[in-house]
Amino acid sequence: MKYKIAAAAVLSATLTTAAQAQSSVTLYGLIDAGFTYVRGGANTWQVKSGTVNGSRWGLRGSEDLGGGLKAIFTLENGFSIANGTAGQSGRMFGRQAFVGLASDQYGAVTIGRQYDSVVDYLAPLSITGSQYGGTIAAHPFDNDNLNNSVRFNNTVKYTSVNYAGFKFGATYSFSNSTQFANNRAYSFGASYAWSGLTVAAGYLQLNNDITSTVFGNSGPSSSASGAQTGEWTFLAGRQRTFGGGLSYAFGPVVAGVVYTQTNLSDALGGGISSGQSGASGGIAFRANSARFQNFEGNVRYALSPAISFAGAYTYTRTDLGGGVNPIYNTVSAQADYALSKRTDVYLQGNLQHVSRNSGHVSAYLNGLSADSNTQKQGTVTIGMRHRF
């Protein structure tokens, strides 16, 4: 009898261990906080949350279904460490919220609130889409969404497996209304990595009915059912964004270039998403169309496992209509010191100057308040990040 009881106990423990190995749930997060000095118009000191990476916490899980197939999910909340409020228009899981199936052979299909393909594939090659530049280093107004100012609801996403360094994917974000072609978005992108070389490209299109109460003159309603709700960058019936980039790593140095272009039609105006905590400002269009072209060069250098330096310059050409074509010159630089694998401190500087400016367009560094009285704006930030 004793041997039978012992055997049963061993079998029970084995089955419990196997069940635990087949499924997992992980709590994770990142907190980014710092002091920022802003110069340009009114000079201010500010406590900022998410200067480089947005503060967040989330749950990520998977369940092994057998045959190389598993169920996956992610729920991710964004928040301000400065005052504890939720980001992304007050959503509980505003950064990401999706569930789906992933196959070791065929890739993954997920449904929910997700990033577009430009963010997934092209943004990591830019300084704003990495841990070396972040929010303030975004291209003016985050016009190409590389800093994911807008995330998309009602989204079906396909993500391929890695084919010897080649990956691709696509998204479609439903309007969830009878106006199928309006208040929707779609994107696709790809990347290839070989040795030290990485190349990537992406395309994003947004279709919105700017005459409806869903979108309207003040941006998409937070109570609407469309692909965008409560978050917006430009008030336009159609936005097309595309771009490509490459980077190359040689020893401790990684250098890259990125080009993006955003074209707007049926445009009413431009501004800053209400989902960007603490940001305010805007830009006026002189016609019902506008264009932004961004040329970025960036470099990163790992002096040691604990110390790194990074910098970028972005030349942004615009056409706002009516002969107003300002040029934005944006420089970003960062020095980072890792106190441990999970905690680091950084010093970051950003500077933007608007030239060829017949329309007297104001400088605007992403995530800060624009000042109508200056064509130059700069910041210095001392910050700390902790990952868990």
* Contact predicate 261/241, CB 8 Å: yes
In a domain, residue 10? The reply is: no
Domain holding 59, by residue range, is 23-387
pLDDT in tens, 308-321: 999 999 999 999 88
In a domain, residue 15? The reply is: no
Q: How far apart are CA 261 and CA 170, in angstroms?
A: 19
Model pTM score: 0.88
| Confidence at residue 216, expressed as pLDDT on a 0 to 100 scale | 66
| Confidence at residue 361, expressed as pLDDT on a 0 to 100 scale | 81
| Confidence at residue 263, expressed as pLDDT on a 0 to 100 scale | 96
In a domain, residue 29? The reply is: yes
Q: How far apart are CA 117 and CA 249, in angstroms?
A: 23
The closest of 115, 109, 80, 81 to 96, measured between CA atoms, is 115
Q: How far apart are CA 35 and CA 213, in angstroms?
A: 39
Question: What's the alpha-carbon Rg for the chain, to the nearest Å?
Answer: 22
- Under DSSP, the state recorded for 280 is B
* Contact predicate 94/88, CB 8 Å: yes
pLDDT in tens, 159-199: 999 999 999 999 999 999 888 888 999 999 999 999 999 99
CATH number assigned to the domain comprising residue 42: 2.40.160.10
Average pLDDT of each block of 10 consecutive residues along the chain (388 residues)?
46 46 91 92 85 96 96 97 91 96 97 97 96 93 94 97 97 90 94 97 93 71 78 88 97 97 85 44 77 97 97 96 91 98 97 85 80 82 97
In a domain, residue 89? The reply is: yes
In a domain, residue 258? The reply is: yes
| Confidence at residue 1, expressed as pLDDT on a 0 to 100 scale | 45
| Confidence at residue 371, expressed as pLDDT on a 0 to 100 scale | 61
Q: How far apart are CA 90 and CA 274, in angstroms?
A: 10
Q: How far apart are CA 281 and CA 87, in angstroms?
A: 18
Q: How far apart are CA 37 and CA 18, in angstroms?
A: 53
Q: How far apart are CA 346 and CA 191, in angstroms?
A: 29
- Under DSSP, the state recorded for 108 is E
In a domain, residue 378? The reply is: yes
In a domain, residue 1? The reply is: no
Q: How far apart are CA 199 and CA 332, in angstroms?
A: 22
Dihedral over alpha carbons 156, 367, 254, 346 (to 10 degrees): -120
Domains contained in the chain, number:
1
| Confidence at residue 97, expressed as pLDDT on a 0 to 100 scale | 98
| Confidence at residue 60, expressed as pLDDT on a 0 to 100 scale | 98
pLDDT in tens, 207-222: 988 877 677 666 777 6
- Under DSSP, the state recorded for 2 is H
In a domain, residue 367? The reply is: yes
* Contact predicate 355/363, CB 8 Å: no
Determine the residue type at 299. V
The residues near 75 (Cβ < 8 Å, ≥ 6 apart) are 58, 59, 93, 96, 97
| Confidence at residue 179, expressed as pLDDT on a 0 to 100 scale | 80
Q: How far apart are CA 5 and CA 138, in angstroms?
A: 64
